[in-house]
Structure 1
Amino acid sequence: MLKIGPIFNYLQDMADKDASRMEMSIPQLMEKGYTWVLHRYHLSMIRYPKLDEALSIRTWHSPYKNLYSLRAFEMTTSFGEVLAKATTSWIIINYSTKRPMRLDRHVTSQYYKEIIPFEFDFSSLSPLERIDLEDIYPVRIRDLDINNHVNNAVYVEWAAETVPTNILQSMRPSEIDVIFKEQLTYGEKAVVQTQKEKTASNVFDHVILRESDAREITRIRTSWKNMPL
């Protein structure tokens, strides 16, 4: 069975492949001094793919407030069974200054020709009230993406590793919400702090900090269910 990290990577690869058709992939933007960064992520897992199961991933996009590019995904089997749905929010930034760029000045005409509006609702993620679990992870070369930042899937994998062992051994993430606020790079260390929600069963809130200055990098919420292992 596929784990959650590869699923994030599959969706990210599909986003870049789709953007490439519109001359909007990360390598194409970086030639102009820009790049995409991920801002919000919501993933809902209905069923995890089985080993060697044929999969199909559909994706579509829509601009929001001329700053965010919303992108939705749907993962299905070859028989049309929906396994996962995701909604994401992306920003184009100047690679040198890290400042956000307006979409209408930096996307191609093809981007606007293929807009498909869709419903989206990103949950608010609050700061932790306490720390139930904490761990520290050094950033490795293999953790980096094309921007030389920690890959978005790695943050989720770090957060999942701080969930109690009895949950990890019997359950799988069914819902994941993420806010990406800053980036980590090679040589830095991530402090992953986790609290179990008091009002919801098997739901955990996570905050990832940069160890050197305690700046908040990411907020994550993971919800866990008994799903086939």
Structure 2
Amino acid sequence: MINEQSPFFFTQDYQVRYSEMDYKKALKPSALFNFLQDVATNAANKGHFGYYEVTERNLAWFLLKYHMEFSNYPVDIKDLFIKTEARGYNKLFAHRDFELYNENKELVGRVLSYWSLVNVNDRSMLAPQTVFTQFEKVEKREDDMFFKKVHEPERIDYTEEFKIRFDDIDVNQHVNNANYIVWAFETLPKEFKDTHKIKTLDMVFKKEIKFGNTVVSEAQIDDNLAKIVVKNKNTNDELCALNVEFV
């Protein structure tokens, strides 16, 4: 669990708006991704390794992986309380944990994430601890979560295409990662989403994409498991892959 005594502990509360829920009042995955990114940004700024510290060095933080576990995926909640802790570095990656609580302060989900520090000029990766000396090596805890291997679809059951809009582009001049989950979930049939909610999610971000391209999302569903890959249609490069277990 998160150590609230850590100097890298941070918490933020959100009032969940109707626009951030689907018609069943479940929290939209894209809204959750935006909340997590917002909390991570604010926590990094507080820890003096955030947006301004990296941009002045021509660097940027890039999200690499998510692992999410939900004991009860947020549905019909008015407030979401998010705790986060930057755990430190593991080789070339920065490790950040999140915990999600409902308005009754009940733990409803946990998230593990890996981030890379990238030189925006040549796209080379830097070890975070060589730039920000406050980073220490990650120490394992008994209840740590782990990333699962993401398996790509062996067949294509469902597919959708999406044109990159100007509105999709973020401050790093590429598509924000919250859009990737939109493309992935839009590919799943409504009938399936009507009767299922997320239990676990593992997602790997592989490449960025910019304005003017088209993406194609391909999905396979076997029982309660969805395997999804999102590609750049223009180059066939894989942008992300994810496995989602539903209940």
Q: Which letter does structure 1 place at the counterpart of 2:209?
A: L
CA distance in 2, matches of 1:219, 1:18: 27
Q: Which amino acid aligns with 1:68?
A: F
How far residue 47 of structure 1 moved from its aligned partner, in angstroms, is 2.8
Matched residue type, 2:56:
E
Cα 1:23–1:108 change in 2 (3 A) is: farther
Corresponding residue of 2:245: 223
CA distance in 1, matches of 2:74, 2:203: 22
Runs of 4+ in 1 over 6 A off after TM superposition: none
Q: Relative to structure 1, is the Cα distance of residues 108 and 17 closer, same or farther in structure 2, using a 3 angstrom cutoff?
A: farther
List runs of 5+ in structure 2 lacking aligned partners. Answer: 1-24
Helix, strand or coil at the partner of 1:158: helix
Aligned equivalent of 1:202, options 221, 224, 227: 224
C-alpha separation between the residues in 1 aligned to 2:149 and 2:47? 32
CA distance in 2, matches of 1:170, 1:127: 23
Q: CA deviation at 1:211?
A: 0.8
Pairwise mapping of residues 174-185 of structure 1 onto structure 2 (< 5 A)? 174-185=199-210
Tell me if structure 1 keeps the 8 A contact 2:200–2:244.
yes
Match of 2:145 among 114, 120, 129: 120
Q: Give the match for residue 189 of structure 2.
A: 164
* TM-score between both structures, scaled by the size of structure 2: 0.82
1:59 and 2:84 equivalent? yes
Greater shift, 22-31 or 202-211, is seen at 22-31
So what's the TM-score if we normalise by structure 1? 0.88
Structure 1 partner of 2:45: 20
Aligned-partner Cα distance in 2 for 1:57–1:181: 26
How many correspondences in the alignment?
220
How many percent identity over aligned positions? 26
Q: How does 1:28-47 map to 2 (within 5 A)?
A: 28-47=53-72
- Listed as ranges, the gaps of 5+ residues in structure 1 are none
RMSD across aligned positions (CA): 2.0
Change (3 A) 1:169 1:51: closer
Question: How much does 1:216 deviate?
Answer: 1.0
Instruction: Find the residue that maps to 1:171 and give its secondary structure.
Output: coil
Deviations 1:49-75 (A, max 9, x none): 455622221101223433111111001
Residues 101-155 of structure 1, C-alpha deviation per residue, up to 9 Å, x if partnerless?
Answer: 012211142x449x77542311111232111111111111222232122222211
How far apart, in 2, do the equivalents of 1:126 and 1:169 lie? Answer: 24
Amino acid corresponding to residue 38 of structure 1 in structure 2: L
* Structure 1 position 23, deviation (Å): 1.6
Counterpart-to-counterpart distance in 2, 1:184 and 1:138: 11
* 1:192 partner SS: strand
Aligned equivalents of 1:203 and 1:127: distance in 2? Answer: 12
Q: Among residues 192, 206, 212, which one is paired with 2:234 in the alignment?
A: 212
